A and B are shown apart, each in its own frame.
Chain A
């Protein structure tokens, strides 16, 4: 392994410039272990702050669907109005996620995420005073922008956690955030019932209920900004002023993101796991309510269970990605992503053909596991596509997810061209087609689905190629070099052990 000679540089350093870290770290001070129940500064604290604020954004974005039976009568909405608002709710984030990626690269995930969350909170508060179909659409559109905080979550995790655990960190943060889409189907009706019981009329109670997601958003954003930290060593502005971090140029970051074809492929495939998840969040309660004649509360519980599977399914995907990487390197990550997403597509086709309630629920739950695990697996690959433009690639992929949701809802679930069950089956077919491009992803140093790595290619070359000679001379690319060293494991286990590798596996790789 050509990189193995450099692995001796990895020192278990708990005390480096910057101070003591409770968790073991690598040469970039990124944590090499993931302690779920710890709030240790800065790594695990960043984790908890970021997943919770993302969770709150999901709760707000999907707060309206469970209360639609009331809202649609109060505002005199038609099915078309509701469908349009559903599309609007996920379309705002398409561009917001791209912008977010850039913002993270330039000002850091902490400020970027808190700004977005605090600036979209007014849309949630003002949902309490809407009185027409157009105001409903606008409120859902602007609230939907907050889903862009997904990008800052993934960026933050990729900045805080080392390659061996980045899949798990990204998976749990993303999964527990997406959980909000399921939790809200339980939270909002509960809050509404409480307020209604206290004495408000139904048409006022649902309005008051919207203040809860609004508060959650405001408070979580303030916590992020007050308690969080961009990088293990400090915050962007401080590091930049001290010269420890080079302030990059937007043009260069943009160029290196859009010219990397892997980013585009992942954006497409993410549209057919995460995009499908968002689509299902918007339509599944109505589907069960209409097709199987269950009552509204039961439909809501079934709908919630789809989103609630995120507690373990997406983290499971991240964990699987890291586990496959330990054995087979990047090729393992790519294979598991492809297989899991294909199975998800097949289950989607089957779901549309089920005519029995319990069979339908079982297939839906299985489907949710696979499709959400595919999301986790995708973000096991994303951190390696680019180091310089990590934020923008994350943004492109995340944005692609929302594009998938918009396209799918437009083609299959708007108006009455297709019945809902036909739409679901056809969506499954589209998943299968749009997952094929994963076969085209190839890393010269690690290989792709069907091809092995090129003999002389190294991770250093790959990441250093993003910087010009001039920039390299000035040392701007030092973070990329360190990252390349830490990605040594992505080559997978080799059968012949090289003598340069220390006998006991270096502690920084858990």
Chain B
């Protein structure tokens, strides 16, 4: 997450932005009014019941895909993803769109859109290095960037899950950045409690058969060397 940079104004602006983010989270939580981003979470118990259907694009491996929405009528972030993704192999497609009808949005300030993988609470439990913090400078929830694109009212990306992504549960956030790379708006592919529409990634192990063989050989060498020297010692003492 990029921190906020800028002049003296930054403090009040940052405070303002942070507060706004918090307010956003609050509205997503309980309000009936469609919030600027996010909105009512959709149930994933009937994955084929879209509220606003959009075309699904299949991942590289085909198979059954689930289209996830983060709002009913005003889609902000949307994913097409398998339930279980293998790092380095599978692909996800992310689309997003801006809900321009919400008040208070200063669209003229929006310059870039940054889309990231973020850890779900299950993968943050007992792991302080992935903690969520309302101050985005200290926030460590989203550690893997999918893409950064110039601002447009809608966009999409097809992303092959990189091999550096570890085994964990994720969701996707899209941040809108201004010209100073400060976050001014966001949308996420899950609800405010981050409980629905999460997906799992199975990371690579990094193990290779050759490593195991090398480890076994060097271990055997160490033990055999010890036995050898013991025998030599005994012989020397006998003389």
Report which A residues bind B (CB closer than 8 A): 69, 72-74, 76, 78-80, 111, 114-115, 118-119, 121-122, 125-126, 128-129, 131, 201-204, 206-208, 211, 214-215, 217-218, 221-222, 225-226, 235, 237-238, 240-241, 290, 293
Residues from chain A with a CB closer than 8 A to the CB of B233 are: 111, 235, 237
How far apart are A282's CB and chain B's nearest CB, in angstroms?
15
Contact present for B163 and A211 (CB under 8 Å): no
How far apart are A139's CB and chain B's nearest CB, in angstroms?
11
In the complex, the 3 A-B pairs of residues with the closest C-beta atoms, listed nearest first = A203-B206, A122-B219, A73-B166
Contact present for A128 and B211 (CB under 8 Å): yes
Q: Name the contact of B225 in the complex, choosing from A222, A237, A290 (C-beta under 8 A).
A: A222
Residues from chain A with a CB closer than 8 A to the CB of B129 are: 69, 72
How far apart are B3's CB and chain A's nearest CB, in angstroms?
11
How far apart are A285's CB and chain B's nearest CB, in angstroms?
12
Residues from chain B with a CB closer than 8 A to the CB of A80 are: 126
If A72-B129, A121-B218, A237-B237 touch, does A204 touch B226 (CB 8 Å cutoff)? no
Closest to A242 in B: B237
Contact present for A118 and B166 (CB under 8 Å): no
Q: Mark B116-127, 1 if CB is under 8 A from A, else 0.
A: 000000000111
Contact present for B237 and A226 (CB under 8 Å): no
Contact present for B205 and A78 (CB under 8 Å): no
How far apart are B194's CB and chain A's nearest CB, in angstroms?
18
A293 to B166 alpha-carbon distance, docked (Å): 23
Contact present for A201 and B206 (CB under 8 Å): yes
- Is residue B207 within 8 Å, beta carbon to beta carbon, of the partner chain? yes
Residues from chain B with a CB closer than 8 A to the CB of A238 are: 236-237
- Is residue B92 within 8 Å, beta carbon to beta carbon, of the partner chain? no
- Is residue B33 within 8 Å, beta carbon to beta carbon, of the partner chain? no
How far apart are A376's CB and chain B's nearest CB, in angstroms?
31
Contact present for B166 and A211 (CB under 8 Å): no
How far apart are B37's CB and chain A's nearest CB, in angstroms?
28
Contact present for B223 and A119 (CB under 8 Å): yes
How far apart are A415's CB and chain B's nearest CB, in angstroms?
9
If A73-B166, A131-B207, A238-B237 touch, does A114 touch B229 (CB 8 Å cutoff)? yes
If A128-B215, A129-B207, A238-B237 touch, does A78 touch B229 (CB 8 Å cutoff)? no
- Is residue B168 within 8 Å, beta carbon to beta carbon, of the partner chain? yes
If A72-B129, A131-B207, A207-B207 touch, does A126 touch B215 (CB 8 Å cutoff)? yes
Contact present for B236 and A114 (CB under 8 Å): no
Q: Mark B121-165, 1 if CB is under 8 A from A, else 0.
A: 000011111000000001000000000000000000000000110
Contact present for A74 and B203 (CB under 8 Å): yes
Residues from chain B with a CB closer than 8 A to the CB of A126 are: 215, 219
How far apart are A278's CB and chain B's nearest CB, in angstroms?
22
If A122-B219, A214-B218 touch, does A226 touch B138 (CB 8 Å cutoff)? no
How far apart are A161's CB and chain B's nearest CB, in angstroms?
24
Residue from B138, B212, B222, B233 having most chain A Cβ neighbours under 10 A: B222
- Is residue B214 within 8 Å, beta carbon to beta carbon, of the partner chain? yes
A76 to B165 alpha-carbon distance, docked (Å): 11
A35 to B229 alpha-carbon distance, docked (Å): 29
Residues from chain A with a CB closer than 8 A to the CB of B211 are: 128-129, 204, 207-208
If A118-B223, A122-B222 touch, does A129 touch B212 (CB 8 Å cutoff)? yes
Residues from chain A with a CB closer than 8 A to the CB of B230 are: 111
How far apart are B2's CB and chain A's nearest CB, in angstroms?
15
How far apart are A204's CB and chain B's nearest CB, in angstroms?
4
Closest to B126 in A: A78
Closest to B207 in A: A129
How far apart are A421's CB and chain B's nearest CB, in angstroms?
15
If A121-B222, A218-B222 touch, does A204 touch B208 (CB 8 Å cutoff)? yes
A226 to B219 alpha-carbon distance, docked (Å): 19
How far apart are B165's CB and chain A's nearest CB, in angstroms?
9
Ordered by A's residue number, 17 sampled pairs between the chains whose C-beta atoms are within 8 Å are A72-B127, A73-B168, A76-B167, A78-B126, A118-B223, A121-B219, A121-B222, A122-B222, A125-B218, A128-B207, A131-B207, A201-B163, A202-B164, A202-B206, A203-B164, A208-B211, A218-B225
A226 to B204 alpha-carbon distance, docked (Å): 42
Residues from chain A with a CB closer than 8 A to the CB of B204 are: 201, 203
Q: Name the contact of A241 in the complex, choosing from B138, B205, B237 (C-beta under 8 A).
A: B237
Contact present for B166 and A74 (CB under 8 Å): yes
Residues from chain B with a CB closer than 8 A to the CB of A211 are: 214-215, 218
